[in-house]
Amino acid sequence: MTTASLSRLILRNHTTGAKDFRRDYFDHLKSCSRQFVDGLETGEPAASQTADQAYESTPVQVLNRIFRLLEPYAIELNRVTAGSGFTITTSAPAFSHERFEGQWPYNSSKMVQIYRCRFASMVLSASIRVKDDSISFYLLPAEHAIRQSEAEEEFGPLMIFSSYGDSGYSRFGDSGKALWWVEGKPLTDERFERYCLLFFDHFVKRSQRLALERMRAERY
């Protein structure tokens, strides 16, 4: 999916941050979700589909921006799939203190402050977490979400936004704010939006596929 296909109109009457809602991207997700609902009714799975200036801000601000970008899509998709049994729940960003085990005998375990938001379906949990100088994106089986960082460390991130470069770039811009990178490239506004939407798109499609497989298995 190209970046151009993710751009256009504003959706009105939503929560703060809905001004960034991309109607054409939502239309794409909505079409996939309608195919998913049709698949529930017919018992057949929907056909699979393929898929500036460096951004400066603190990790907490970046995660808040990610949540504001993605939350309206979850709200609208729930409207599209209402009555199907498929729902996406959202957990706004919040702080927690979690224990990380060190490597014995060199490092002892320690408590670390985490800032995290979550989008969850009946089968998967999309967890986006701030730890140290990075924001990591995880996709976990729903039953493991309660384990929080332990499960995230076990399954590993699908994507990382880092506040440092892979080639010794300075972590800070002239203003003293962290400069963000993804896959060794500056995290521009265009990349920020595209990577976040592709992560959410992957979460939704995989959730729908797994949910349909589970429903069909329970039927037989």
> How confident is the model over 116-147, as pLDDT tens digits?
999 999 999 999 999 988 999 999 999 999 99
Does the model's pTM come out above 0.85?
no
149-196 residue pLDDT tens: 999 999 999 999 998 644 344 444 444 455 899 988 889 889 999 999
Q: d(Cα 220, Cα 217) in Å, to the nearest integer?
A: 5
Query: How wide is the angle at C-alpha 202 spanned by C-alphas 52 and 139, nearest 5°?
Result: 105
**H or E segment to which residue 150 belongs:** helix 149-155
> What integer pLDDT is reported at residue 92 of this predicted model?
97
Band (pLDDT 50/70/90 cuts) for residue 70 is very high
CA dist., res. 174 & res. 196, Å (int): 26
Structure-model confidence comparison of residues 213 and 137, the more confident one: 137
Mean pLDDT of 55-78: 89
b (16+ CB within 10 A) / e for 114-149:
bbbbbbbbebbbbbbbbbeebbbbbbbeeebbeebb
